[in-house]
Amino acid sequence: MDVAWMLILFAIGFLGSFISGMVGIGGSIINYPMLLFVPPALGFVAFTAQEVSAISAVQVFFASLMGMLVFRKGGLLHKQLVLYMGISIILGSFLGSFISNSLPSAVINTVYAVLALIAAIMMFLPKRGSDSQDVAQVVFSKPLAVALAFIIGTVSGIVGAAGAFITVPVMLVVLKIPTRIAIASSLAITFLSSIGSTTGKLMGGHMLLLPSFVLVVASLIASPIGAKLSKRINTKVLQWILAVLITATVIKIWISILF
């Protein structure tokens, strides 16, 4: 692996992790399509979908960890929400990531595309939750949160995404969690989910150590920067940034599948 190749991987990891910290999505919504499409576009050997999902799982683990540590200091983590959804999503993500090792690339890409499409639609639905930053005032349906987390964990574990890009829209639209609390709590839930998905990928034998290491280094630098910037940006702006990113990814991945 030459220097140019490593710099490209670092740039992909930095961008994904910066956005991860800023909008609480783990980075996979950016990294998955970029790792899939950028290398062959620049003349390098393409990763398989299994390899991309494995690399993404490791990157998400560290990006979400660093972002979570920044938000933890701000008192925006909803510990009860993280507990209920976190335990459920880690079980689902382990199951999904283990299943994905036997799936063909076309199926993994399609699962990712469907997930991203659902997330994009949800981001444009009206959100009736408040912009409160008082965690103590936030209530939610515990059975619904547990069920949704397990489903999200299972399907997102297939693509090594840890589910954050669908978890945030679900929190905003279905559970009515305020934006900043949803972003902070999602990073903690994503971290727990990535434990399951990373373990499953390691057991499946698709992990590429050097690319994963490069993306991890990028995550450790970029994710805290994005998380700190997030605290200074209006919540509506954060929602629109997330909506645009997800929509752009949906268009790209569906074009690649259909054409």
Q: To 10 degrees, the CA torsion angle through 115, 100, 160, 126? A: 10
pLDDT of residue 128: 55
**How does DSSP classify residue 138?**
-
Q: Is the dihedral of CA 90, 111, 57, 48 positive or negative?
A: positive
Give the residue carrying structure tokens 């997102």.
156
Name the H helices within 205-234.
209-230
pLDDT tens-digit map of 96-127: 877 877 888 788 778 878 877 887 787 777 65
What percentage of the chain exceeds 90 in pLDDT? 7
pLDDT of residue 145: 94
pTM above threshold 0.75: no
pLDDT of residue 125: 74
pLDDT tens-digit map of 228-242: 887 787 767 876 777
Cβ-proximal residues to 145 (8 Å cutoff; 6+ apart), any chain: 81, 84, 85, 88, 175
- Res. 162: pLDDT tops 60: no
What band does 39 get if pLDDT is binned at 50, 70 and 90? Answer: confident
Closest CA to 208 of 29, 39, 22, 27: 39
| Domain boundaries, position 249 | 3-258
pLDDT of residue 113: 81
Q: How many domains does the chain have?
A: 1
Element (H, E) at 234: none
pLDDT of residue 157: 77
Q: Which two tokens stand for residue 33?
A: 């399509």
What percentage of the chain exceeds 70 in pLDDT? 88
- Among the ranges given (133-137, 144-148, 202-206), the one the predictor scored with the smallest mean pLDDT: 202-206
What's the one-letter identity of residue 96? G
pLDDT of residue 2: 81
pLDDT of residue 97: 77
